Amino acid sequence: MGFSLFHAIAFFLSLFTLPFVSGAGVSAGFQYLKLPLLRKNPFPPNPAKTLSADSRRLSALFTSVPGRRAKLPVTSGANFGTGQYFVQLRVGTPAQELFLVADTGSDLVWVTCSACRECLSRGNGTAFLTRRSSSFRPLHCFDSKCKLVPPPANATCRRTRRGSACRYEYSYADGSLTSGIFARETTTFNVNSGRAVTFKNVELGCSFEASGPSVTGPSFNGAQGVLGLGRGPISLATQLGRRFGNKFSYCLKDYTLAPTPTSYLLIGGAKAEAGAVNDTKMNFTPIINNPLSPTFYYIGIENIFIDNVKLPISPSVWATDEMGNGGTILDSGTTLTFLVEPAYTRIVTEFKRRVKLPKPAAFTSTFDLCVNVSGVPNPSLPQLSIQLAGGSVFSPPTGNYFLDTAPDIKCLSLQPVTSSSGSSVIGNLMQQGFVFEFDNDHSRLGFSRHGCSLS
């Protein structure tokens, strides 16, 4: 979903500790949040709709330790016809319940406010009613925090009470935007086992206007805002970071299982919970800093293997140039995986050479490789492995990249990035079944198949 065009300045302004208000049912040793990532439907969204939404969203960019974490449930958007994952968030005093897209590819946390009439007319569900919250506090336009959000064109700031609110206009790469007032508000997270944890003074956007496919199209169905988890100063990961060790992790579980298991977002890393994955079972790769795009979690790809055979792809294909173009991004808000064209062509060619199953008859697809698995209960499909910087190898199961697009039809769910300045993106389908830990203090990404079965 992500890819904000605004790059925050004055990063140090965000490094503060949020007041902890309450943790109902939480023991004295509570030091992490576990939030459900909600995925309610066991079946994936329509692949054509998913591809269309992902392509529109990305096209503009591509032309251009224990005791130290928090865990939240995450819901899949499949029930709403989208490949996104949602976090249930309660905002205000008294709390109002909203669903936000969990997005590592953007920074701003924002909710649709009641002033956004067009948002309500689109049927995206409820909006946040600021007039019913006693804790809603718009930031003044002279507040130092206001400098962390991009202002609207021709915005002016006056010291008078009238017109003094901090206004923002946050853009995404495909031209989508949200605009409104930047504010502080009390926020309550419904954590695991029915517990609730509340924080004061979370900074978020109250959106009066939202336009463009990223925030109004099919991929946004069922959402009332975005939970930005990027590396910038206004993301939730940064705002809650100091309290929870500047780490967060998530486990996106297999959407094909029924009943669908609950996925989780943990603010605080992957080790705080008893029995969770530890460093000895975790593989690590550096998170690469890209000054041109400081929001994103860049990782380095060194080699691609198919059935343990290394493909002849030049390392320069994966490199980031001096202008910040290229590289590879891990993004929870994009469903499919997009690879720069030279690598994509090599990979698809090798898959076609190795796959011995018949092509579907009279079947039209947006994917370049589809096979008919009728009568083959356990089809043999090639294993894709990605060697990352630092020597770790990411080997997802074949179900993460061969998508069921129709009865007895599987398609290789990779897409090309044709621009020479484009970035590759590892989407959320490819990430399923792994714990991913984003460790910002140590600038590293950890991943493991262990621990993703935790309830």
Q: Which residues are catalytic?
A: 103, 331
Contact 326, 422 (CB under 8 A): yes
269: left (phi over 0), alpha (psi -120 to 50) or beta: left
Q: How far is it, in rounded angstroms, from Cα 329 to Cα 173?
A: 14
Contact 301, 386 (CB under 8 A): yes
Which tokens is 423 given?
Answer: 């970035």
Which tokens is 116 given?
Answer: 């956004």
Contact 108, 102 (CB under 8 A): no
Burial 335-361 (b: 16+ CB within 10 A, else e): bbbbbbbbbbebbbebbeeebeeeebe
301: nearest Cα among 335, 334, 278, 326: 326
Give how far Cα 367 sits from Cα of 47, 49, 364, Å.
Answer: 9, 13, 9
Q: How far is it, in rounded angstroms, from Cα 86 to Cα 263?
A: 10
Give how far Cα 354 sits from Cα of 73, 383, 384, Å.
Answer: 39, 10, 12
Q: How far is it, in rounded angstroms, from Cα 23 to Cα 191?
A: 9
- Find where tokens 């697009």 sit: 405
